[in-house]
Amino acid sequence: MCGIIGYSGHRPAVPVIMEGLRRLEYRGYDSSGVCFVRNRELQVIRAEGKLNNLEDKLADMDISLATAGLGHTRWATHGAPTENNAHPHVSFTRNLAIVHNGIIENYREWKDFLLDKGYLFFSETDTEVLANLIADEQAGGLSLLRAFAAALEKASGTYAVALLSTEEPDTIYAARHSAPLLIGAGAGEHFAASDIPAFLPYTRDVVFLEDGEIARITPLRAEVFSMADLKPVPKTLTRIEWDLQAAQKGGYKHFMLKEIFEQPRVVADCIAGRADTKRNAVRMPELEGFPVPSRLRIAACGTSWHAGLWAQSLMEGWSGIPTTVETASEFRYRNALPVPGECLLVISQSGETADTLAALRLVKEQGIATLGICNVIGSSIAREADAVVLTQAGPEISVASTKAMTAQMTVLMLTALYWGRKRGSLDREITARALAELSDIPARLTGLLPTLESEAAGLAARFAACKSMFFLGRGQSFPLALEGALKVKELSYIHAEGYASGEMKHGPIALIDPCFPSFFLMPYDAHFAKTMSNLEEVAARKGPVVALTNPPKDGMELRVGESWLLPEAWGPLCAFFMLPALQLFSYKAAAFLGKDVDQPRNLAKSVTVE
């Protein structure tokens, strides 16, 4: 989604803003722009495409004197990704400019209102309507702060928005509603940005803005007001502990590859302090005051939904809690009936996904307990859920989610063990085995990843020319099949489908031909023999098959097709090897095809629109 940075300080603003925009590139964008005030005039520079195009335009300009400004990377929603629709958008009647992330749903109504009053529009965007709405409020005699608040009160939808005006050239105003925006507080400089890496080289002190608040930043102050009555709101600073190194490539060619290789560390960080192998105990202080639910509903999107599906059988098998899992984007539209004692668990890397947040809010209104599993501290979901378990994956920059899913699986597994023990539904032996095996995963995975990488490269080079492929699995391998297919689709733009192996003969098998490969996820679990039959059905129809499975033992081995051998792991833990293999295959296929791995076309990192 769009990236916003606003700066007011003692440094030349434009280089700081451009650097910030670079660090927000991961969010996905198709045009960009900056604005600043020079000689009392508002300068707005915008460009289609990547940031280099914007940099080329700025190269010939004198930008040295501006010490405040705004920057934006736009992921098109209203209007094509053209320079004209790129942000910032200006209201020329008052010389003010805004940048915006989100959608103003009632913009047509206000556009008609403003057109009737003689305002002119130069783009197709909802953002330009908001800029002129602010100007119109000012024309009615309001100060800039009041006009900003009054215009936002009229806007419905989601937004994070920042404002610069020639009237107060050192001041940035910023506000949010269901889209991320935070303030960075430095010495003699302040920032407003969509995400922390944008300003991390300058400050680690952050103020999290809430919905319904407006921030006013100048070089020396950051003030926050309630939008409703403009009374000051006291805020506290949060110190960010992770550093910029964690948000940089660190020698890897792509963020995605780096993040795949970080997974052993991610598992180790997620279990540190939680998995007590000596006392055979799981510690989840975040859940201590949280009632163990009698029924669990999990809602999430994309990869996070797959993590939820993967955890379903653990919640039922270990915790003994009836569990359903659904996509958050559908959950809210089906009048789900609340049941006393149940809990909605939302899973989200970003903590800002609009559909997931909407599901959380809907259920909260019904008085149902809510729990978030979330990677971003201070995100909307992390703040709004009744309790939150943070996944310690560190910043995930690549648009395609990898290490976040591994962190989610780790934390979900620990939660299932924790609730199972609390409810008395889980054997001590299973807990002991699960904790011991989980603790071994970081070392085992560290040793495995380089081999997986080279094997994935070989397979990807052979299959990258295919137009379509299947990923098939049973039981807990089914969600991983969905994830493998999602990764291939989003990164390499090859059509891929994830299916439950047993569903093949109910229709999809009709697609099989010698150019349509199937990847069977079939570790040595209780489903191996049945999945083997499904594999044979596909092979019999001359479909190429590759089985992600374990080395032969006890008569269990592949009878036909090719195998990609992964080390055997206990119970659900085979997912911690299977998932990185799938991630590396999709990564290598995309890299082989020369695709933009970290920023696939049409995608955004944090989907803050519905």
Give the footprint of ligand F6R on this chain (CB under 6 A).
Answer: 301-304, 348-350, 353, 356, 400-401, 486, 490, 606-607
32 vs 380, beta carbon nearer ligand F6R? 380
| Contact (Cβ atoms closer than 8 angstroms) between residue 219 and residue 188 | yes
Question: In angstroms, what is the minimal distance from the CB of 529 to ligand F6R?
Answer: 32
Find residue 182's DSSP bridge partners: 193, 208
Active site residue 605: yes
Cα angle: 264, vertex 265, 268; to 5 degrees: 90
17 vs 488, beta carbon nearer ligand F6R? 488
CA atoms within 13 A on the CB side of 509: 16
Q: Which of 487, 588, 595, 605 is catalytic?
A: 605
Pairwise CA distance, residues 74 & 47, whole Å:
10
If residue 315 lies in a helix (H) or strand (E), which one and from where to where?
Answer: helix 302-317
- For 350, list phi and psi in degrees, rounded to 5: -75, -30
390 vs 558, beta carbon nearer ligand F6R? 390
Find residue 172's DSSP bridge partners: 217
Active site residue 2: yes
Strand order in the sheet with 172-177: 89-91, 96-104, 157-165, 172-177, 213-217, 222-226
202 vs 576, beta carbon nearer ligand F6R? 576
| Contact (Cβ atoms closer than 8 angstroms) between residue 20 and residue 4 | no
Residue 423, C-beta contacts closer than 8 angstroms, at least 6 positions apart: 292, 319, 320, 321
Nearest residue to 580 (alpha-carbon basis) of 256, 292, 352, 188? 256
If residue 173 lies in a helix (H) or strand (E), which one and from where to where?
Answer: strand 172-177
527 vs 595, beta carbon nearer ligand F6R? 595
- Report which DSSP code applies to 196: G
Pairwise CA distance, residues 330 & 298, whole Å:
12
Question: In angstroms, what is the minimal distance from the CB of 387 to ligand F6R?
Answer: 18
Question: In angstroms, what is the minimal distance from the CB of 186 to ligand F6R?
Answer: 28
Is the Cα torsion angle 114, 120, 126, 129 positive or negative in sign?
Answer: negative
Question: In angstroms, what is the minimal distance from the CB of 409 to ligand F6R?
Answer: 13
| Contact (Cβ atoms closer than 8 angstroms) between residue 160 and residue 100 | yes
Q: Which of 2, 301, 343, 374 is catalytic?
A: 2
- Coil, helix or strand for 275? strand
Q: Which residue's C-beta sits nearest to ligand F6R?
A: 302
28 vs 184, beta carbon nearer ligand F6R? 28
Inter-helix orientation angle 403-423/302-317, to 10°: 20
Question: In angstroms, what is the minimal distance from the CB of 178 to ligand F6R?
Answer: 13
Task: Show the tokens assigned to 249.
Answer: 């490539």
Query: DSSP string of 471-496?
Result: EEE-TTHHHHHHHHHHHHHHHH--EE
275 vs 376, beta carbon nearer ligand F6R? 376
Q: Which amino acid is at 107?
A: Y
Task: Show the tokens assigned to 329.
Answer: 């984007």
304 vs 415, beta carbon nearer ligand F6R? 304
Pairwise CA distance, residues 227 & 225, whole Å:
6
Question: In angstroms, what is the minimal distance from the CB of 26 to ligand F6R?
Answer: 11
* Catalytic annotation, residues: 2, 605
